[in-house]
Amino acid sequence: MTYKIQHVSNQFDQVIQTKIDGKTKPLGALGQLEVVAKQLARVQALSTNKVDTLTVDKPQLIIFAGDHGVASEGVSIAPSEVTGQMVANFAKGGAAINVFCRQLGWQLSVVDAGILHAPDEQLQVINQRLGATTASIHTDAAMTLETVEQGFLLAEQLIKQIKEAGSNLVAFGEMGIGNTTAASAIMSALMQVPATESVGKGTGISDEVVAKKQQVVEQALTLHKDKLSEPKQMLACLGGFEIVQITGAMLAAAQEKMHILVDGFICTAAAMVAIQINPAVKDYMIFAHCSGEQGHTKMLNWLEVEPLLKLGLCLGEGTGAALALPLIQASVAFYNEMASFEQADVANVV
């Protein structure tokens, strides 16, 4: 698949900056909120050709779940069966992400991208299965290139449905025992760093398991070294079904001129691959938080982006992205509603 993603334009930058600077505050006093407002305005101008007001409409968070063959190597604190159990928990509304989505006004969808056991049909889970589990990345390719393309197609169709339902902001969460191993391998492959820099303790594994995880990642990088220069091939070799569909969904969302709120370590790995496929997708991304996973700071630095939050989160599920929504809404609110010096009859402090 190819994506027609339009780079944002600087056509309205002066108008946007003048509007922001004219608010009743010192220049730059709202910090990152001003940066976010400018980014939102640039993206929305592509569709409306206007920058007078901003909107965040029907924010949608999608959790993609997938199982990983490498989990059988003991690289996680839990067995693969927990992926399916958590998917059921998401569908029943009992997880942290459900709590935050209800609190903050997200619409939440759960996608089975390929977990070990398909969920009960009575649960509200979208079926986009690419298989039951990937192959172990240190002994084989995780999946075929054809499977990657199928995952991209399914993700694009889902994003189109969400766009048609009126959403202009989307975030992604993930669930998949073993997926930090896949994300670490992707990080190492893209950034050309050893597994000691990309593999961390995740949700609290022991030093012994960290060493095992590092070994598996190094084996995977060596096994697939001739196929890691092309991003889709990299996904086929090292990725997970959920990582593939998150990558495809990010590209599809940018193609639809939607805002993308990027979550933690695994979602940032997907974002890195998406940027390799089409660099214009980065124009649409806002990075929600820096997680407690040791490689995430390095990823964000490599991408030269500034996250909105740093809360030490290591949960995944999209929780960091969910918690960043009020900051996005605050950026919209000050841009739309805050008085200018002229309107407020206040002496300009510039």
| Catalytic positions | 317
- Residue 40's closest CA among 12, 4, 5? 12
Residue type, 347: A
Contact 308, 286 (CB under 8 A): yes
Task: Tell me the two tokens of residue 111.
Answer: 């996608």
CA separation, residue 19 to residues 51, 196, 290, 305, 315 (Å): 9, 46, 30, 24, 38
User: In 3-state terms, what secondary structure has residue 309?
Assistant: strand
Using CA atoms, how far apart are residues 82 and 203, in angstroms rounded to an integer?
14
Please give the distance of CA 129 from its chain centroid, rounded to a whole number. 19
- Residue 178's closest CA among 122, 114, 227? 114
Contact 52, 12 (CB under 8 A): no
CA separation, residue 262 to residues 179, 287, 308, 321 (Å): 16, 5, 10, 6
DSSP H stretches of helix in the chain: 13-21, 32-48, 81-92, 96-104, 145-164, 179-191, 195-198, 207-223, 231-238, 241-255, 265-277, 294-303, 319-337, 341-344
